[in-house]
Amino acid sequence: MTDALPQGATIGILGGGQLGRMLSVAASRLGFHTHIYDPTANPPAGDVAHLVTTAPYEDNDALFAFASTVDVITYEFENIPTLTLDTLEDHAPIRPGREALRVSQDRLVEKDYLSGLGLRTADYADVPDAAALAIALTKIGAPSILKTRRFGYDGKGQMRIADPADADAAIAGMSDAPAILEGFVDFSHEVSVIAARGLDGAVACFDPGENVHRDGILHTTTVPARLSASQRTDAILIAANILNALDYVGVMGVELFVTPEGLVVNEIAPRVHNSGHWTQNGCVVDQFEQHIRAIAGWPLGDGKRHADVVMENLIGDDMNRVPDLACDPATALHLYGKAEARKGRKMGHINRIVT
């Protein structure tokens, strides 16, 4: 632990949503302070942080003041403006590093990067405009899916193309944003690996979880996932390959499609990931503490799982189920303290221990 942050050091977190909130709690367990930076007032993470700055990501004075109070900077989302990073990086190390952000901020760059590592992805093509889409469809065919290259999450910025005749509607749905066409992957199920890499290059992975989505949003993650021993090994090797290539420090979520021909990388997220929330009740060191350990230069937890868990997101009206869920002795509640339960909004999650 030569480069390890000492007790009482301060960790700066860009973004104060539920991920920042749970990172902040984990940091406190290791004796660190946290300073949350978020453009929105009263962010969920503010409830459990030592300091909160409310300012836009373009406010250089606020960024400078923030950076001067912290020993290391991390983030809960990948779409941080480049200029924000330029301002911050002179004052404190940013972990995970900028290469991971550059790669994951753009679906086309990400696919090129993953293919370049020899990993299998969906077929894809760059779609800067309608003409390119027509060409891409002759190559990739339908069904396929058109996605904005940047800023998509939880199914936003995506249009399915069931038939080439849908092309015009799909391109209109991109609102002139650069896009990428992705081929259909005939997968049996999706799994994700929550992987971590320390400052010393050590890699540790949690058991792969099996993900079910509803309306484009993660619904449940179940561990263990349905995987053969060799698939499990392959999933971990893929994740480690990506982390090492990026000289990554921190936790990453790697989504994989399970197909008869092998595992196909869907996407990567350079941060703690919704599909890793089960670790809070299944592991001695959860993904949030694992991330803090990594960016603080501490040894990683080994990722061992001591329980089978089903994680379920509580979205919008699901909050009405909380009184019932609170009565279930096998259910651990994790609520985010958000004031308004809007449709499609992640309000909390539960981890149900399976015995």
Q: Give all strands of the β-sheet with 179-183 in edge-to-edge order.
A: 124-127, 179-183, 144-148, 158-161
Residue 75 annotated as lining a ligand binding site? no
The nearest distance, CB 305 to a second copy, in angstroms, is 11
Is position 329 an interface residue for a second copy (rule: CB under 8 A)?
yes
The nearest distance, CB 304 to a second copy, in angstroms, is 6
E strand map for 168-249? 179-183, 189-197, 203-205, 209-214, 217-223
The nearest distance, CB 4 to a second copy, in angstroms, is 7
Q: How far is CA 305 from the centre of its chain?
A: 20
Residues 30-89 that bind a second copy (CB under 8 A): 30-34, 46-50
Query: What ranges in 198-355 are assigned the alpha helix state H?
Result: 229-245, 279-282, 287-295, 322-325
Residue 158 annotated as lining a ligand binding site? yes
Residue 89 annotated as lining a ligand binding site? no
The residue among 40 and 82 lying less far from a second copy, judged by its C-beta, is: 40
- Considering only the stretches 80-88, 113-121, 212-220, 325-333, report the one whose residues sit in contact with a second copy under the rule CB under 8 A: 325-333
Residue 147 annotated as lining a ligand binding site? yes
**CB-count burial class (<10 Å; 0-12, 13-18, 19+) for 121:** buried
> Contact 204/301 with Cβ under 8 angstroms?
yes
Residue 261 annotated as lining a ligand binding site? no
Cα 20 to Cα 272: distance, rounded to the nearest angstrom: 9
Residue 190 annotated as lining a ligand binding site? yes
Is position 172 an interface residue for a second copy (rule: CB under 8 A)?
no
Is position 317 an interface residue for a second copy (rule: CB under 8 A)?
no
- Considering only the stretches 134-142, 149-157, 264-272, 323-331, report the one whose residues sit in contact with a second copy under the rule CB under 8 A: 323-331
- CA-based angle 157:162:168, to the nearest 5? 60
Is position 333 an interface residue for a second copy (rule: CB under 8 A)?
yes
Is position 169 an interface residue for a second copy (rule: CB under 8 A)?
no
Residue 255 annotated as lining a ligand binding site? no
The residue among 34 and 287 lying less far from a second copy, judged by its C-beta, is: 34
Query: What ranges in 166-225 are assigned the alpha helix state H?
Result: 167-173
Tokens of 84: 């924000």
Site string for a second copy, 217-246 (x = CB under 8 A): ------------------------------
Residues 251-310 that bind a second copy (CB under 8 A): 281, 284-285, 293, 298-299, 301-302, 304, 306-307
Q: Give the residue among 350, 262, 272, 269 at the shortest CA–CA distance from 314.
A: 350
Residues 6+ apart with CB under 8 A from 234: 262, 263
- Considering only the stretches 185-193, 221-229, 231-239, 330-338, report the one whose residues sit in contact with a second copy under the rule CB under 8 A: 330-338
The nearest distance, CB 78 to a second copy, in angstroms, is 25
Residue 248 annotated as lining a ligand binding site? no
Rule CB under 8 A: choose which of 320, 326, 344, 354 binds a second copy. Answer: 326
The nearest distance, CB 38 to a second copy, in angstroms, is 15
Tokens of 164: 């080439």
User: Is the backbone of residue 141 left (phi > 0), alpha (psi -120 to 50) or beta?
Assistant: left
Tokens of 313: 């997101």
Cα 28 to Cα 30: distance, rounded to the nearest angstrom: 5
In sequence order, what DSSP letters do the residues of 270-301 get, joined into one string?
Answer: SS--GGGTTHHHHBSS-HHHHHHHHHTTPPPP
The nearest distance, CB 48 to a second copy, in angstroms, is 4
Q: Supply the DSSP symbol for 207.
A: P
Is position 109 an interface residue for a second copy (rule: CB under 8 A)?
no
Annotated binding-site residues read 107, 147, 152-158, 182-185, 190, 213, 266-267
List contacts with a second copy (CB under 8 A): 1, 4, 7-8, 21, 24-25, 28-34, 46-50, 281, 284-285, 293, 298-299, 301-302, 304, 306-307, 319, 322-323, 326-327, 329-339, 348, 353, 355
Annotated binding-site residues for ATP read 107, 147, 152-158, 182-185, 190, 213, 266-267
